[in-house]
Amino acid sequence: MTTTAASPWQPDTWRQRPARQMPTYPDPAPLDAACAQLRQFPPLIFAGEVQALRAQLAEVAAGRAFLLQGGDCAESFDTLDGNAARETFRVMLQMAVVLTYAAARPVVKVGRIAGQYAKPRSADTETQGGVTLPSYRGDIVNGAGFTAAERAPDPARMLRAYSASAATLNLLRALAQGGFADLNQLHAWTTDFVRASPQGQRYAELAERIGESLAFMAAMGFNSSNTPQLREVSFHTSHEALLLPYEEALTRHVDHGLLGSAGGAPGWYATSAHMLWLGERTRQLDGAHIEYLRGIANPVGVKVGPTATPDEVLALLDALDPAREPGRVVLITRMGAGKLAERLPPLLAAVRDAGWPAIWSCDPMHGNTVSTAGGVKTRDFANIVQEVREFFAAHAQAGTVAGGLHVELTGQDVTECRGGGQNLTDERLAERYTTACDPRLNGSQSLELAFLVADLLKAGRRPGGESADKSSPPPAR
């Protein structure tokens, strides 16, 4: 269907295709020097972990697991003290517990973290008070401050992004394995501001029930010292694959002997993260970003907006997943509340009928971004909830799997999205609006959304629930 799939692939074949959203570096020499350095650095992840994630995602595609992907819109070099990463990890654990309990299936946990430093922009330049400068494209490219020095794209920032990613990933690995994620700690994951909220109450009740189950299991001889499943979580990293020179420099060929026990095929791996995704603005079929993504063995995501046609989506799948491997592609829909109900069903039907085992995940954030009267970017919690409901209803109708949730969140007590249990208003947005880019759900809003999705997953499981209450049975998958 596409010409790309036929031609040979190398980590740099993307250079022969038009690349959108790339900074213009003034001088090639420092760019080459930074890339040469990156090629000397160790991979951030191990190919066996990528294969393990692919196996987990294959379970999602089959409807036996649920994908939770979340984190900052953009990470920042200024908040590297570990608090931000720990709080994101903490709230994702809470959400995962809520979802696992309700769905009675494993939750695959993937952070938008440890590398989420590059941002696409609607314009190449920004003008303030008669001064025009390059747009801020994320800390891996330039600085957010509105000065010529800050906004000049600096390739050396790629080296800082690598170190920052390594430091964050190191902390996440420690938290995932060192006891922080032990199920016996689930009370301790609640922060004070969440504890006081209605979601905090609901979570405390759930924690109580799980605590009883754990006590029962301990009496049977299963505890966190002899059962690592209770003490550790598997947690993977992801970011938008935008800055291709960086991704190319960290792409490594992995031979048979270096794959580990998870198996999988030898080949090229992106080693900047376990999973990469493409945004709505860089997924042109003949573009550089698709060309790069098609050659790596990692699972890849693609954002799918409200204007995407069935043919476009099938062509994307053909380019990225010609072998139709379950767990390879995650289609991340971002359509907007009200639009999804109309735009998603034809896409679901097309992919279902063509027989692709793609995962559908719902990003209810990016189609619902608005500006307040005061010019602040925000999102209404009610619209986020509405889009998630429409997503589950569309899948129930099509007989397809509502496989995952993709959200911009932080565990911290920020005031960036309106509404939710705390009923945040426009006036209060300024109180703690700290995002480096788009507005995120705070800890309590994140938990509230998890409870909603938990209810939808539970309804899908019950006879008479959402996926069962329609006249004809779903087509067999």
Residue 194 touches which of ligand TRP, Mn ion, none (Cβ within 5-8 Å per kind): none
Candidates 89-97, 261-269, 319-327, 445-453 — which segment interacts with ligand TRP by CB under 6 A? 89-97
Pairing relationship of beta strands 329-333 and 402-408 according to DSSP bridges: unpaired
Residue with tokens 């900052």: 72
Q: Which lies closer to ligand TRP via its Cβ, residue 93 or residue 385?
A: 93
- Contact yes or no for 274/110 (Cβ under 8 A): yes
DSSP 198-223: HHHHHHHHHHHHHHHHHHHHHHTT--
Interface map 362-401 toward ligand TRP (x if CB under 6 A): ----------------------------------------
**Alpha-carbon separation of residue 438 from 294, 366, 418 (angstroms):** 28, 9, 13
Examine residue 293 and tell whether it contacts ligand TRP (CB under 6 A). Answer: no
User: What is the greatest pairwise CA distance in the chain?
Assistant: 72
Examine residue 405 and tell whether it contacts ligand TRP (CB under 6 A). Answer: no
Question: Could you say which of 19, 52, 58, 73 contacts Mn ion (CB under 5 A)?
Answer: 73
Burial code (b: 16+ CB inside 10 Å, e: under 16) for 360-386 equals bbbbbbbbbbeeeeeeebbbbbebbbb
Examine residue 97 and tell whether it contacts ligand TRP (CB under 6 A). Answer: yes
Examine residue 438 and tell whether it contacts Mn ion (CB under 5 A). Answer: yes
Examine residue 181 and tell whether it contacts ligand TRP (CB under 6 A). Answer: yes
Residue 438 touches which of Mn ion, ligand TRP, none (Cβ within 5-8 Å per kind): Mn ion
Pairing relationship of beta strands 267-270 and 251-254 according to DSSP bridges: antiparallel
Q: How many residues bind Mn ion (CB under 5 A)?
A: 2
Residue 73 touches which of Mn ion, ligand TRP, none (Cβ within 5-8 Å per kind): Mn ion
Q: How many residues bind ligand TRP (CB under 6 A)?
A: 12
Q: Which lies closer to ligand TRP via its Cβ, residue 95 or residue 250?
A: 95
- What is the rounded distance in angstroms from the CA atom of residue 107 to the CA atom of residue 453? 12
- The least distance separating ligand TRP from the CB of residue 233, rounded to whole angstroms, comes to 4
Candidates 38-46, 73-81, 87-95, 462-470 — which segment interacts with Mn ion by CB under 5 A? 73-81
Candidates 94-102, 259-267, 356-364, 405-413 — which segment interacts with ligand TRP by CB under 6 A? 94-102
Examine residue 313 and tell whether it contacts ligand TRP (CB under 6 A). Answer: no
Q: Which helix (H) or strand (E) holds 85?
A: helix 83-103
Question: Could you say which of 233, 244, 296, 388 contacts ligand TRP (CB under 6 A)?
Answer: 233
Question: How remote is the C-alpha of 76 from its chain's centroid?
Answer: 17
Examine residue 98 and tell whether it contacts ligand TRP (CB under 6 A). Answer: no
- What is the rounded distance in angstroms from the CA atom of residue 212 to the CA atom of residue 380? 37
Reduced to 3 states, what is the DSSP secondary structure of residue 14?
helix
- What is the rounded distance in angstroms from the CA atom of residue 54 to the CA atom of residue 70? 18
Examine residue 425 and tell whether it contacts ligand TRP (CB under 6 A). Answer: no
Examine residue 22 and tell whether it contacts ligand TRP (CB under 6 A). Answer: no
- Contact yes or no for 144/23 (Cβ under 8 A): no
- Sites of contact with Mn ion (CB under 5 A): 73, 438
- Sites of contact with ligand TRP (CB under 6 A): 93, 96-97, 100, 106, 181, 183, 229-230, 232-234
